[in-house]
Structure 1
């Protein structure tokens, strides 16, 4: 049986410089809660997971398959599987990403 868990009780994982995430895993998906420092870069990469990004605070410049987008608070972007993407935090950001299937490398 699953029980509610406070985000404060989930350990923070520093995945790349300036990117601090807390991860919740189901059987088929992962929900990531990021705090990203201004100026931090997520290098262009791709993965087999569908990703949906939601900016809850801040401004993030995202490059998706060669197109650049400025994502502001409350913006969302769907990133299809195996699509090159990356970006830079223009300001301090809080971002929520959903991934399907599960991001096994984010498990502890």
Structure 2
């Protein structure tokens, strides 16, 4: 079954749209509209895979900092504190296991 989810504000200059979900897995697009927009530092119990569809980003995951650009991907372990800053506007495709139920119930 195909579901359509709305695009909602995430952080200033950033929107989030759930692309697909099941209890075991969720795929989400984060669209960074402007240079300098940030995905604030946070952690969650979900394993996260991030694929850079477009743009360029500076990430911090735990005690590591690195830059990523279109076509690159990486995994963020469960519980790791992480965040990013947009260096060039673009889109991140994040996959979460299990699903982020909070993304289905709120605009935050």
Question: TM-score, normalized by length of structure 1?
Answer: 0.88
Match of 1:53 in 2: 50
Q: How big is the shift at 1:80?
A: 0.3
Match of 1:84 in 2: 81
Q: 2 CA distance for matches of 1:71 and 1:63? A: 11
Q: 1 CA distance for matches of 2:77 and 2:60? A: 13
How large is the Cα RMSD of the aligned pairs? 1.3
Q: How big is the shift at 1:57?
A: 0.4
Q: 2 CA distance for matches of 1:25 and 1:33? A: 12
Match of 1:20 in 2: 15
Q: Which moved more, 1:60-69 or 1:35-44?
A: 35-44
Q: 2 CA distance for matches of 1:40 and 1:21? A: 13
Q: 2 CA distance for matches of 1:44 and 1:95? A: 16
Question: What SS class does the counterpart of residue 102 from structure 2 fall into?
Answer: helix
Runs of 4+ in 1 over 2 A off after TM superposition: none
More strand by share: 2
Matched, 1:30 2:26: yes
Q: How big is the shift at 1:88?
A: 0.2
Q: 1 CA distance for matches of 2:46 and 2:37? A: 22
